[in-house]
Chain A
């Protein structure tokens, strides 16, 4: 304590004693302690917080933190085929350049004037997402896909006045946990099976479970297992027949080559933009979108900020501002729709930069490149003895399931062995989907070359040959 008495911390300008004294004089008190007069003794924390000695100099701090981070092994230093709810796509340099700009990084909740750029860039993000999704309304991003899907379900329940919803069992189990918690106890969630051969939604099961109490059916495209759901129109028609809404979670990066859910009857579309210019960041790069048609009954049920374009006092000037702010909980803490707060705006701005860079042709080329590479990986892997690809007859986008059951080895053993070769094998889903057997989800994107895929194939062959894996 004593030795640090004279530290003037670089982050705290007014810790200079002379300034402190001057300010105390102005306030008219002897010491800072007096300013805490309202906190009674009984609530005071008398000890010191047991925290490590700080690194006051930036040199020491940098060394300390970098030493810890050095213990990590990254997907850049290894060859990774991990997917699931987080994907390794290429991040263009300009995405980082823009989201690290001081102005965007440190702005928060300014007005449509001094923060005009924040409003415009988020409006543009929504506009470009709107083109990708073929929908006219897109929100300022929420936390992630799980939240976007949860809110889509709550919106559907409010719009239909019903409290039951169907969710495809083939969605990410983590996302299902988020949805279940967010909907409980208001909406009863029932799962709809997937066809065990195709991985697509089991239409018979859907028909059995849907009723006039159903607010919505929610399914994903591609599914968690990577299967492209081509029965979207049939599913939406069944939903509409019962007065329910069709809700689709979609991977936006697939929409350069796949038709958007609106085209097969979706009423609310949601998903995650992490793949559109965000690094994986150990799961820190997520942001969720929700899109609908421009109908009042949909727009008024969004809990999110919605930024709109408008005119100003000066002819020809574009202005931006909040559309129907009064629907949010910022305006009304009780009657507002769900709740709103700080979520993931910077990633929305970044995804806008990404879409502007990649453009229409780029999205098409990117989608094509991804399916070519993932199809090649699937084909090569399917030729290996002792390894099966469930849903092999169904088309996939970037992810697919591999079943190691007949090899006599567990996914865990395979992944341990691959790790020794510098490869992060697919995500082990044998406990998430035990009915599929001993499985992993592999993800192949534009970042994987033929050489990378061939290396994986050879490594898997070698792993299966290994006598015993320790």
Chain B
């Protein structure tokens, strides 16, 4: 292999691991429970006989039967067949901020001092964790400029839903719910910025980008009216282009009586640089599993930390954590609260990790993280644009914040190779590359976000991977089209997954339809 091309001669672990039911061996046990004490048995009997007859399950559930080491081995193999951020140069999942999740924070999150706390314990016994929750609130107030945070939402989408609920309750409070039935969002904001308010009964108006890739101010002016309940908008949007007119957006929406919610799920390029407050937002949220380093866990658990200005504290979900200069306590006295969006106080381990991450960086470190994330992104932009067939629609010759939505349109036109093909081939070199949220406004899209965590050498390696695949696309497209070749499995048959007569969402369904 040529040393000029720095891609790896990679092959992913391929255990050909059966589905766990295929490993079942009758009678094997993975774990035992204690025997019941004799004295209890004498008094109570088997316990089961005391239950209503019609409720007793006679046949045990048809779960697989495996010994302990065999369960461990099966799942270790499945873990090896998963490419986490800890292993790869995970810059291909743009918008998701796949940064390093420090291991010391895992130690804290898995400490019995957190894991063995029940959420209904007496406040005096949980002063430590309440202090963490309260102080993270103070930190995020500084970072956003807003006045109070809740960590209850279990992810960004749930935070968006909570924002839509607050907007709803606010207008209900003013007797305007009936009239204000529209929410405005933009096409390059996260899909949930439209989908979640839709669940709340709102008609959603999506503003399309103008030729600069920015949501069109004129379109916004046309969209607002006395029916406008609010605005839910990301900035920078998926394109990584900062919307310099964002304050005009909030002004226009405020003028018609709407509420403005800032989707800052990914704020990784702007910590300490620009805030929700300066842009006049009423609400905002940060994903602790993106910007603030809590790991993504294959898709959660996660936290959408939701902040509001003073006026909107009255609507936050219960309870809030407060401090009276002596002790931390819960405040349930929020008469206009939307109620709750998730059980208890949210995903507390994510809160603890974010607290610890901020405490390891401080003001200067957070700014540095953002600045390097932006430096890395613009370096990547420069390099990717040199790759044949790649382009970055909109804002030509401009710089971007933390991510870029690129396009393989030219590559596709010249070779017939699609984004999906490139994705599948990148896998063969140990990389992940994501396309885009739907709809694909940018044709043949791919979205990269290098964060601050990856070294220049790693960025160069990823770029070499892209170059290699593009070279193949022009010279030997078949190898790209038939990829992956060196991953865990080969190209899947996706059609059967959309066919009700064939899809199988559980093993039992598979056995029935086989």
Contact = CB atoms under 8 A, between A and B. Distances in A.
A284 B346 contact: yes
Nearest to A340: B157
Interface stretch (B138-146, B222-230, B409-417, B471-479): B138-146
Contacts of A94: 30, 68, 71-72, 75
B3 interface: no
B41 A124 contact: no
Nearest to A291: B506
Contacts of B177: 185
B398 interface: yes
Q: Which of B33, B190, B274, B364 has the most CB atoms of chain A within a 10 A radius of its CB? A: B364
B509 interface: yes
A114 B487 contact: yes
Nearest to B236: A38
A468 interface: no
B260 interface: no
Given A55-B360, A107-B296, A108-B96, A146 B342 contact: yes
A222 B347 CA distance: 25
A34 B371 CA distance: 11
B244 A258 contact: no
B58 to A, nearest CB: 8
A362 B31 contact: yes
Contacts of B165: 181, 184
Given A11-B369, A181-B340, A323-B503, A372 B52 contact: no
B508 A131 contact: yes
B275 interface: yes
A265 B349 CA distance: 38
A93 B473 CA distance: 47
A341 interface: yes
A123 B17 CA distance: 13
B206 interface: yes
A282 B75 contact: no
A7 to B, nearest CB: 7
A407 B51 CA distance: 30
Contacts of A256: 57, 60-61
B164 to A, nearest CB: 10
B219 interface: no
Nearest to B337: A177
A27 B382 contact: yes
B222 to A, nearest CB: 19
A408 interface: no
Nearest to B482: A313
Contacts of B299: 108-109, 140, 305, 342-346
B173 interface: no
Nearest to A431: B332
Contacts, number: 732
B59 to A, nearest CB: 9
Interface in B91-148: 93, 96, 98-102, 104, 106-108, 110-122, 124-129, 131-132, 139, 142-143, 145
Interface string B41-65: 1011011101110111100111111
23 contacts: A12-B369, A34-B399, A43-B244, A58-B104, A69-B111, A72-B125, A94-B72, A101-B79, A104-B79, A108-B298, A108-B299, A110-B83, A114-B427, A136-B505, A154-B199, A178-B339, A324-B498, A334-B194, A339-B192, A360-B63, A369-B34, A371-B48, A395-B51
Contact of A371 (B32, B47, B296, B508): B47
B470 interface: no
Interface string B189-223: 01111111011110010100000000000000000
Contacts of A446: 33-34
A165 interface: no
A169 B457 CA distance: 60
B498 to A, nearest CB: 6
B255 interface: no
Interface in B275-312: 275, 277-279, 287, 289, 295-302
B83 A296 contact: no
A15 B110 CA distance: 30
Given A51-B366, A127-B507, A369 B36 contact: yes
B444 to A, nearest CB: 16
A419 B125 contact: yes
Given A22-B456, A331-B438, A106 B295 contact: yes
A136 B508 contact: yes
Nearest to A395: B51
Contacts of A281: 114-115, 117, 347-349
Given A45-B273, A85-B119, A144-B343, 11 more contacts: A12-B369, A54-B364, A72-B113, A78-B125, A101-B79, A110-B83, A121-B75, A131-B506, A177-B339, A362-B31, A379-B44
Contact of A365 (B33, B124, B350, B512): B33
Contacts of B492: 112, 310-313, 319-321
Given A106-B85, A107-B85, A114-B487, A283 B56 contact: no
Nearest to A183: B199
A329 B439 CA distance: 11
Interface in A32-53: 32, 34-40, 42-45, 48-53
Interface string A60-73: 01101110111111
Nearest to B382: A27
B257 interface: no
A141 B125 CA distance: 31
Interface string B331-361: 0000000111111111111101001101111
B116 A52 contact: no
A144 B75 CA distance: 24
A322 B438 CA distance: 15
A384 interface: no
A48 B296 CA distance: 29
